[in-house]
Amino acid sequence: MSSPYIDALKMLGRRELSELQIRQRLVRKGHAEDEIDDAVRRLKDERALDDRRVAGAIARTEVVIKRRGRSRVLRQIEQAGIPASVARDAVAEVFGDVDDEALMQAALGKRLRGDRPIADRREFERLFRYLTAQGFDSTRILKALNARRGPSTSSPDEVD
């Protein structure tokens, strides 16, 4: 059986992982808790394991490649087992250079395939759910969607 340190290095060689992710994977491989603690301590001392760096990498990927909003990015980082304060710092840093509105408009434009207006109430609601799931602010979503209403789109506040 290989050492938890070597196994962790192999894992980290493939992609950035948080301390929690490394610990979980080493436990699944059957390593003892005290050996895992020693391996994690060594990896941290060598700076091979750094939750702040992982949080930044996740945030950049979620924003630049996947084009997601703040709350979704924050959730993704926290799901990696990174503390909330570290996650918030990473999100603030990445979004410091990003225009939230342009990001949401790009996501909306992709769903609407350009500049076409929203066809009907059902599409309006579907787009609202999609953009909310992508982590955008609901007030901004409504504003953006209302600006893209077609002539036959009723208000989402109206009752059928």
**How far apart (Å, rounded) are the C-alpha atoms in residues 132 and 76?**
14
* 158: confidence class by pLDDT, cuts 50, 70, 90: very low
Average pLDDT, the chain: 91
Distance of alpha carbon 124 from the chain centroid: 24
**How far apart (Å, rounded) are the C-alpha atoms in residues 130 and 135?**
9
Give the model confidence (pLDDT) of 83-100 as tens digits. Answer: 999 999 999 999 998 898
**How far apart (Å, rounded) are the C-alpha atoms in residues 98 and 120?**
31
pLDDT reading at 129 higher than 60: yes
Taking residues 69-84, what's their average pLDDT? 95
Give the model confidence (pLDDT) of 21-64 as tens digits. Answer: 999 999 999 999 999 999 999 999 999 999 999 999 999 999 99
pLDDT reading at 116 higher than 90: no
Confidence (pLDDT) at 155: 56
